Amino acid sequence: MRGQSKRGWEREKMMANPPCKASSSRERIMSASRQLFNARGFHSTSMSELATSAQVSVGQIYRHFSGKDDIIVAIVEQDASDHLDRLDRVFAAVDAGEIGPARAIELFAFNALSRADEALSFEILAESFRNVRVAETVRRLTTRFRDIVRRLALRVQPDLDPLDLEASVEIMTACFYGLRLRKLADPSLDAEQLSRSTACLIIRGLAHREHCTAGSEGSFQ
């Protein structure tokens, strides 16, 4: 991974984080919602504040959305679609032989570390405990994300038995989600370096695994 050129690294980062397109009026409302929800939370943001920030009338908001809950669900669904599309592009590059599994893991980690509105992700997670539609979207995202991680783990170690495979998927998923929290807690972290370190550790863990029988001697209670 160290031999990757700067230009190559920048090109691959674009797969994980492509530039945003110009927004429509509906997207302006969602963009303003992101900023306000990220800064103040869902429930502390009023529709009038949202309309002012998006430079639309409150009536225009209601032409696109039934209410604030509908905006929240739309943000979650858009985030889920965009996030998984990015990871699908990374995995497609693996399938095409353009990058190896180690680089893909590095890009997965970089994607987790480079979100600009990470606080909003945790606001959404909290909302999923109150909002059934949000919870269902989060579940769909997590299921699809785990499927991609499972395919990636098998690329690194094709002979993983079912128990080791599911354990690897769970740990890798926790790692990628945890990186998002670490970056939120410490924005000064070097995303590129930590992405490389994460990929190296995951590759080593998959390549030099030993079947674990922890727990066989008794429960935690």
The token duo for 17 is 């984080």
In a domain, 131, yes or no: yes
In a domain, 91, yes or no: yes
Which residue ranges of the chain lie beneath pLDDT 70?
Answer: 1-23, 116, 209-221
SS3 126: helix
Domain count, the chain: 1
pLDDT at 8: 58
pLDDT at 109: 93
pLDDT at 23: 57
Question: Per-residue pLDDT tens for 43-78?
Answer: 889 999 999 999 999 999 999 999 888 898 898 888
In a domain, 26, yes or no: no
In a domain, 30, yes or no: no
pLDDT at 91: 86
User: Hunting for tokens 């399938």 — which residue is that?
Assistant: 95
In a domain, 184, yes or no: yes
pLDDT at 21: 45
In a domain, 190, yes or no: yes
Domain that includes residue 95, residue range? 12-19+71-207
Q: What is the pTM of this model?
A: 0.74
In a domain, 213, yes or no: no
Can you give the CATH number for the domain in which 186 is found? 1.10.357.10
What are the DSSP calls for 162-190, one per residue? Answer: HHHHHHHHHHHHHHHHHHHHHHHH-TTS-
In a domain, 105, yes or no: yes
